[in-house]
Amino acid sequence: MPVRLVIIGGGPAGNTAATVAATLGADVTLIEREIVGGAAHLRDCIPSKAMIATGGALAELTRAQAMGLTAEGRLDLDSLRLRVASIEDRLHASVCGLLESQGVRIVRGTGVLKGAHTVTAETDHGVEEFEADFIVLATGSRPRVPDFVRIDGERVLTTRQAYPPPEVPEHLVVIGSGVTGVEFTHMFSALGSKVTLVVSRQQVLPYKDPEVAAVLEDAFLRRGVKLLKGARATAIERDGDVVRVACDDGRVAIGSHAVLAVGSIPNSEALGLPDAGVEIDAYGYVPVNHHCQSNVRHVYAAGDLSGRLPLSSVAAMQGRKIAEHLMGLHTREHRHLDYDKAASAIFTDPEIADVGLAEAEAFAEGRKIRVTKVPFSANAKALIEGDPRGFVKILSDPATGVVLGGSIVGRNAAELISVLAVAVTNGLKVADIVDSLLVHPALAESLAEAAS
Ligand SMILES: Cc1cc2nc3c(=O)[nH]c(=O)nc-3n(C[C@H](O)[C@H](O)[C@H](O)COP(=O)(O)OP(=O)(O)OC[C@H]3O[C@@H](n4cnc5c(N)ncnc54)[C@H](O)[C@@H]3O)c2cc1C
């Protein structure tokens, strides 16, 4: 009899676990209550990037003018809404197609644990019950809304209500300056809104390299974004068309709209976890070991629910590793997921991407590292493209030359970081990058230069 696997949640974590396990011969049931493909993935990650791309196209028109072309752009919110919806539809259809082609049974409903090996799905047609040898919990997360805020979906918004909002805000107050907050700041300022960013610390992106954060702050200031640094929002009030965000230092940011970008909370509260003996931590996440197993070893947790790096890429990789582990593939060539080596990107202008060890972290640990930094201003392709902003920074071990990490700020940083991600994951040396015959002219040549 094949291994019976039941998965709750069809985002990148759940659907990847489903596809890989089915390919390896498991009998897989996937229960999803909202959208196969993932609520956070298809209703946050993807639409935010789609809107950023639209803002980028507007900026390209301005750049085209500087390159001798005449062009003008006007934002059409209805077309943008259709574009975002059609991307969601296509990705949803492609995930469903892949799951169905592998024989995964998709159940549309809400999954709940009813015991250590039993899951029910509440569907429109009643309750179905499934017995499982293994269970994967992949229910994701949703935007966090602090107690002092009343979201109205019109002018006081969560991120998920903003793709796009009912109208382009005249003046948007963004609360939170982590990755989502700065992406929203970039997105709406590119689409023509005036933006005030409430930054609770002394720099945006508090956990990133200060040099990287400084480039972004500079870009924001040049575009007229107002930064309220060292200010924590404590109240949001709407009065007609005006939204007031009061901060703990007495300042008040006034805008036409406000969006909250203050993190997310896991979808773990109504899952029946106690019925299966699965523990959660103080924040509601399901703690997992390096195989993504919960304290109940045949119940795995993945994606945002596992409280590890909240990224679609990480969620999908966890799903893959879980499927391989429960199907017994971990004995062969199985590498544990090393979260410290995950590449990540911030889709601002300029783009920011990094991987592996950060310079500040290395110095704090007193580690001896070699740091090389090369600006794009000397790169032929960057000059040809008319955008020589930013730099490549590579951190390596001075004794062995092994690449430990790196940051890239500039055009296509999210693509270029892949080279460093492959190097960091596989223990390649700076010489391996230098000796690669790269394309000319290309932005990637700056990677070889920084490696040499
Ligand atoms: C604004 C924003 C931008 C982002 N941008 C990026 C980015 O650029 N790159 C990146 O890598 N990541 C990005 N992320 C993070 C990424 O979206 C998440 O890390 C990823 O979607 C997590 O995948 P998941 O499978 O855990 O959760 P999800 O994608 O949310 O999928 C979980 C699914 O479980 C379902 N579910 C929940 N409870 C139940 C239940 N009881 N029964 C049945 N189904 C249930 C939900 O409906 C949902 O579809 C972004 C996040 C946000 C908020």
Task: For residue range 398-452, list pLDDT tens digits in order.
Answer: 999 999 999 999 999 999 999 999 999 999 999 999 999 999 999 999 999 999 9
Residue 222 CA to ligand 1 centre (angstroms): 33
Assigned domain for 184 exists: yes
Cα–Cα dist 42/31, whole Å: 17
What is the tens place of the pLDDT at every residue in 263-296?
A: 999 999 999 999 999 999 999 999 999 999 999 9
Q: Residue 252: is its pLDDT beyond 80?
A: yes
Contact 116, 14 (CB under 8 A): no
Looking at residue 74, what is its pLDDT?
Answer: 86
Q: Which residue has a Cα nearest atom 50 of ligand 1?
A: 45
Q: Which residue has a Cα nearest atom 47 of ligand 1?
A: 34
Q: Which residue has a Cα nearest atom 19 of ligand 1?
A: 311
283, two tokens = 């924040």
Q: Domain ends where: 219, 247, 262?
A: 262
DSSP 365: T
Residue 59 CA to ligand 1 centre (angstroms): 29
Residues in Cβ contact with 200 at an 8 Å cutoff, skipping those fewer than 6 apart: 176, 177, 206, 230, 231, 232
Cα–Cα dist 81/88, whole Å: 11
Please, which pLDDT band fits residue 81 given cuts at 50, 70 and 90? very high
Q: Residue 332: is its pLDDT beyond 90?
A: no
Residue 257 CA to ligand 1 centre (angstroms): 25
Assigned domain for 148 exists: no
> Same domain for 246 and 295?
no
Taken in order 158, 159, 162, 168, the sign of the CA dihedral is: positive
Q: φ and ψ at 5, to 5 degrees?
A: -120, 130
What is the tens place of the pLDDT at every residue in 304-324?
A: 999 999 999 999 999 999 999
Q: Residue 384: is its pLDDT beyond 90?
A: yes
**What would the mean pLDDT of 236-257 be, rounded to a whole number?**
97
> Same domain for 356 and 412?
yes
> Same domain for 123 and 167?
no
- In the sheet with 126-131, reading across from the earlier edge strand, the strands are 110-113, 118-123, 126-131
**Ligand 1 atom at shortest distance from the alpha carbon of 35:** 49
Looking at residue 209, what is its pLDDT?
Answer: 86
Q: Output the average pLDDT for the chain.
A: 95
Assigned domain for 343 exists: no
Cα–Cα dist 8/122, whole Å: 12
β-bridge mates for residue 110, sequence order: 122
Looking at residue 73, what is its pLDDT?
Answer: 84
Looking at residue 333, what is its pLDDT?
Answer: 57
What is the tens place of the pLDDT at every residue in 114-138?
A: 999 999 999 999 999 999 999 999 9
> Same domain for 138 and 278?
yes
The owner of tokens 């045949």 is 298
Counting ligand 1 atoms within 8 A of each CB, the residue from 114, 299, 304 with the most, and so the one to mutate, is 304
Residue 241 CA to ligand 1 centre (angstroms): 32
Question: Within 10 A of 442 (CB to CB), how many other CB atoms are there?
Answer: 16
**Ligand 1 atom at shortest distance from the alpha carbon of 31:** 43
Residue 159 CA to ligand 1 centre (angstroms): 13
Counting ligand 1 atoms within 8 A of each CB, the residue from 311, 344, 348, 351 with the most, and so the one to mutate, is 311
Assigned domain for 151 exists: no
> Same domain for 280 and 418?
no
Q: What residues line ligand 1, using a CB cutoff of 6 Å? A: 8-14, 31-35, 38-41, 44-45, 48-49, 110-111, 138-140, 159, 180, 267, 271, 303-305, 310-313, 315
Residue 143 CA to ligand 1 centre (angstroms): 10
Please, which pLDDT band fits residue 331 given cuts at 50, 70 and 90? low
Assigned domain for 327 exists: yes
> Same domain for 83 and 167?
no
Q: Which residue has a Cα nearest atom 15 of ligand 1?
A: 311
> Same domain for 29 and 138?
yes
Contact 167, 77 (CB under 8 A): yes
Looking at residue 263, what is its pLDDT?
Answer: 94
Looking at residue 66, what is its pLDDT?
Answer: 82
> Same domain for 324 and 229?
no
> Same domain for 110 and 174?
no
Domain containing 113 equals 4-143+265-331
The whole-model pTM stands at 0.95
> Same domain for 128 and 170?
no
Q: Which residue has a Cα nearest atom 20 of ligand 1?
A: 312
> Same domain for 116 and 209?
no
Looking at residue 67, what is its pLDDT?
Answer: 84
Question: Within 10 A of 290 (CB to CB), how many other CB atoms are there?
Answer: 11
Residue 158 CA to ligand 1 centre (angstroms): 15
Looking at residue 334, what is its pLDDT?
Answer: 60
Residue 128 CA to ligand 1 centre (angstroms): 24
Assigned domain for 135 exists: yes
> Same domain for 139 and 11?
yes
Assigned domain for 253 exists: yes
Number of domains in the chain: 3
**What would the mean pLDDT of 155-174 be, rounded to a whole number?**
91
91, two tokens = 């990705």
β-bridge mates for residue 127, sequence order: 122
- In the sheet with 344-346, reading across from the earlier edge strand, the strands are 344-346, 352-356, 403-409, 391-396, 370-375
Residue 315 CA to ligand 1 centre (angstroms): 8
Assigned domain for 312 exists: yes
439, two tokens = 């394309």
Q: Domain ends where: 245, 262, 279?
A: 262
Which H or E element spans position 121? Answer: strand 118-123
* CATH number assigned to the domain comprising residue 161: 3.50.50.60
Percent of the chain with pLDDT over 70: 99
Cα–Cα dist 136/151, whole Å: 32
What is the tens place of the pLDDT at every residue in 4-60?
A: 999 999 999 999 999 999 999 999 999 999 999 999 999 999 999 999 999 999 988
